[in-house]
Structure 1
Amino acid sequence: MKNSLKPKHDMRLLFSCLFLVSFFNSFAQEVKPEIKPIVKIDSLYREDQFYFSVTYNLLLQGPTGLKQDKFSAGLSGGFLRDMPINKTRTIAIAAGLGLSYQNFYQNLTISKDQNGGNIYGVNSSSEYVSNRYKQYSVDVPIEFRWRNSTYESYKFWRIYSGVKLSYIFSDKSILNDGENTYKISNNKDVNQFQYGVYVSAGYNTWNVYCYYGLNGLFDKSVKTLSGESIGLNTMNIGLIFYIL
């Protein structure tokens, strides 16, 4: 009788040992600590950014009677290279390259005389059907930057101010006086090289923007039929968006 019970006892002992080994193995797998990857934070960050602006365009310092009508819009976009100059990287200088489109609806008309020369006049809106001027330029903005950004956050307050140099590579005025349509492209009287100052300020992506041209859109020697110098300094007011 004793010999028949011994194998059963041995089997039970064997199964118990296997169960305990399996249990401790499963437990060891469950409590194994999770190893998380180490993420390196770049403390030497730059605010290199693409920018895009939408503006309302104004003409200032023009001849007597100059008025604008409709909505004169402007669009610009480009890239700025950020160069921090302090340890916390909250102050920087940036330079970039961009393109602009500017459109103006106003009552400064440009037509042609019999010899093909340009005739400039300031007319009442009742004297023509439509009149507009548009231009395309390459821009080089250079700005001084302040922001309260950190390398852990991309949302911050900013004030950027600087100068913008522009080269007008294409311009066109279109006048329809009801009898004739005058289309004048790449007007030799337009100052192709433009420069001015600007400021942008805001939080995160949304920022207000203002630019003022320091030199006239037209050459100083260009005058209207009444003998007034045309000049015309430009101002752009609107929004500018920065995208990393």
Structure 2
Amino acid sequence: MRFSCILIILLLSSAFVAGQVLDSSQKVDRKYLEDQFYFGFTYNFATNLPSGVSQRNLSYGLQGGFIKDIPISYDRTFGLGIGLGYGINSYYTNLLASQQGTELEYTVLDSDADFRRNKIATHVLELPFQFRWRNSTPQEYKFWRIYTGIKMGYVFDGRSKYVSSTERIVFVNKDIRDFQYGLTLNVGYNTFNIHIYYALSSLFNDGVMVESGEAIEYKPLKVGLIFYIL
């Protein structure tokens, strides 16, 4: 009888100690961070195009970078994200940019014009800032997320490119705005997340116009997928 009581006490003590160890490990795990690296691709829609200008071919964007995750709530469901990234974008339209001495002129190509590609390509150093919500836990790596915020970018290389059956013209386009910014929204579950970016700044500098005198106030709308990695 005495032996049975001692055995029961030992079993209860072991269970209590194991529970305390589990609780302690869970407290350590509460310092986890989320979504440090990202990679994504988008389809770039054209908005606010001048009269007669339309998209051609597949306008696309690629992006990648690092974001520092900063939790701001005890359970880490809310946080901030500040990052640094790199983006490549191509915009295919029938708006032809051509050099005339030191000036640039913009012409709307007819629908029957013979050309293969006509695009503007940009390479951008990006600075995303996000307000983050997610329902993750220290043990759960598949979760819902909603990240919204702004993204600023510095265009360190912007070029116009025209290719036809007889010629190929590529040059640095100084009319492309150096500093650009817009709103972002990332929504998804686990691996696959929808990414939306709407530019608040025009792709071109103020005062850039087509031959008719209409201002070029092209603002990209990017829709695609983004992937996050710890």
TM-score calculated relative to the size of structure 1: 0.80
Deviation larger for 122-131 or 104-113:
122-131
Partner of 1:86: 73
Which residue in the other structure is 1:195 paired with? 181
2:211 to 225, 228, 236: 225
**Stretch deviating more after TM superposition (203-212 or 119-128):** 119-128
In structure 2, the gaps of 5 or more residues are 1-17
Partner in structure 1 of residue 106 of structure 2: 120
Q: Secondary structure of 1:229's partner?
A: coil
Structure 1 counterpart of 2:58: 71
1:195-236 per-residue CA deviation (whole Å, 9 max, x = no partner) reads: 000101010111001000101000121110010000110111
Residue 12 of structure 2: aligned partner: none
Q: State TM-score, norm by structure 2.
A: 0.85
1:159 aligns with 146
Q: Is the 8 A contact 2:65 2:85 kept in 1?
A: yes
Aligned with 1:81: secondary structure?
strand
CA distance in 2: counterparts of 1:159 and 1:48, whole angstroms: 12
CA root-mean-square deviation? 1.8
Runs of 4+ in structure 1 deviating by more than 4 angstroms, as ranges, are: 177-180
Equivalent position amino acid for 2:53 in 1: L
- Give the distance between the partners of 1:98 and 1:75, measured in 2 at CA: 11
| Corresponding residue for residue 228 of structure 2 | 242
Q: Does 1:47 align with 2:12?
A: no
Q: Residues 35 and 228 of structure 2 are in contact (CA less than 8 Å); yes or no, is this contact kept in structure 1?
A: no
Please say if 1:213 is aligned against 2:199. yes
Distance 1:57 1:180 in 2: 26
Deviation digits for residues 76-99 of structure 1 (CA, Å, limit 9, x no counterpart):
000111111111110001100000
Question: Gaps spanning 5+ residues in structure 1: where?
Answer: 1-35
Q: Which amino acid in 2 is paired with 1:194? A: Q
Letter in structure 2 aligned against 1:213: A
Q: Which amino acid aligns with 1:241?
A: F
The Cα of 1:184 is off from its aligned counterpart by 1.7
Change in Cα spacing, 1:170 to 1:93, as seen in structure 2 (3 Å) is same
